[in-house]
Amino acid sequence: MDATATTPAPTSPPASGRTLPWRLEDIPLADIDLSRIRGREDMLFMLAAASFIEFASDTYAGNLAEFFHDEPDIADWLAHSWEAEEVQHGRALKAYVLAVWPEFDWDATYATFFVEYSKLCGAEGYESTQGLELAARCVVETGTSTAYKAIRDLADEPVLRKLAEHIRNDEVRHYKHFLKFFDRYDARERNSRFRVLQSLKNRLVESRHSDFEIGLWHAYHSRYPDDARGGKRFAAMQSGIARSVRAHYPAGQAIRMLMKPLRLPAPLMSLIQPMLLPLGLVIRQVLLR
Ligand SMILES: [Fe+2]
Ligand SMILES: [Fe+2]
């Protein structure tokens, strides 16, 4: 099957007319210190996987905007700001990957990734109410913002650190938007804390690690076409990446962000504070396994 024929990979900036918080031109690709990154094949696979997932955002962003059609400002933000920023993350990561590893066939690899990944993107994965879906979105943005913080801190190459910092700032802002929108719906839907917790847990357990595995596999497979997905070499590469991200993962921050949609009273929060770090470490395991 010729996957490239059907792959909707964006090739030019979205014509939304919105000003992005930063632009690809702000990333000084010519200043990359190749001696600090070129030999790190694990970084190639990790950054390529991240770029694929970010690029594919436009596949489900439209669906999500439709899901919130009754609130035009939310639908508008999703369609014109959030989506444009996520796609810019993909575009910038792609540019970085190609500046360091020009022999990597990004377009062809993205096409094979997209064939598998696009089957996962659809409205059937949404939570039962709009408010609960917004709570679940907070989980996704917690995952991305903390992962890019870890990438920034583990990166040894200054341009990559700068890029990861830009992306992290965007993801934190996305989280804040989703949390604010969640409050609006939650005031109407009056979801119990238990239901919100269920939605947080569902998205935490079900979702994003599998996206990343798909991205990693296609990046890896393009380099090692004879290796098996269930084989030891691919597993070892995955564990190596998980280990290095884990070493820099802001577990405490992740748990604080994840708990916000529960809107627990301040006295209760201080009571359970000592339990939060161990819980954050468990979440780190789930997100990075
Ligand atoms: Fe992103
Ligand atoms: Fe985001």
Residue 289 vs residues 22, 28, 101, 241, 282: alpha-carbon distances, Å: 31, 33, 26, 10, 10
- Ligand 1 mean position to 31 CA, how many Å? 23
Where is 138: in which H helix or E strand?
helix 130-154
**pLDDT over 70 (residue 7):** no
Q: What angle separates helix 130-154 from helix 266-288, to the nearest 10 degrees?
A: 70
- Ligand 1 mean position to 265 CA, how many Å? 31
- Ligand 1 mean position to 54 CA, how many Å? 5
This prediction has a pTM of: 0.87
CA 43 to CA 166: how far, in whole Å?
18
- Do residues 141 and 174 touch, judged by C-beta distance below 8 A? yes
Pick the closest to residue 56 from 147, 117, 12 (CA basis).
Answer: 117
- Ligand 1 mean position to 280 CA, how many Å? 22
- Ligand 2 mean position to 228 CA, how many Å? 32
Percent of the chain whose predicted confidence (pLDDT) is above 90: 60
- Do residues 208 and 287 touch, judged by C-beta distance below 8 A? yes
Dihedral angle over CA of 275, 238, 145, 69, nearest 10: -110
Mean of pLDDT values over 121-146: 86
Nearest ligand, CA 82:
2
- Ligand 2 mean position to 212 CA, how many Å? 15
* Per-residue pLDDT, 264: 84
CA 153 to CA 165: how far, in whole Å?
9
* Domain boundaries of the chain, sorted by first residue: 36-288
For 192-225, write each residue's pLDDT tens digit.
Answer: 989 998 888 888 876 555 788 999 999 999 999 9
Nearest ligand, CA 50:
1
Burial 192-203, CB ≥16 within 10 A → b, else e: eeebbbbbbebb
- The contacts of residue 232 (CB under 8 Å, 6+ apart) are none
Percent of the chain whose predicted confidence (pLDDT) is above 70: 83
- Ligand 1 mean position to 71 CA, how many Å? 23
Q: Domain 36-288: which topology?
A: Ribonucleotide Reductase, subunit A (1.10.620)
- Ligand 1 mean position to 167 CA, how many Å? 6
Q: Please provide residue 70's backbone torsions phi and psi, each rounded to the nearest 5 degrees.
A: -75, -10
- Ligand 1 mean position to 270 CA, how many Å? 32
For 82-121, write each residue's pLDDT tens digit.
Answer: 989 999 999 999 999 999 999 999 999 999 999 998 887 6
CA 65 to CA 61: how far, in whole Å?
6
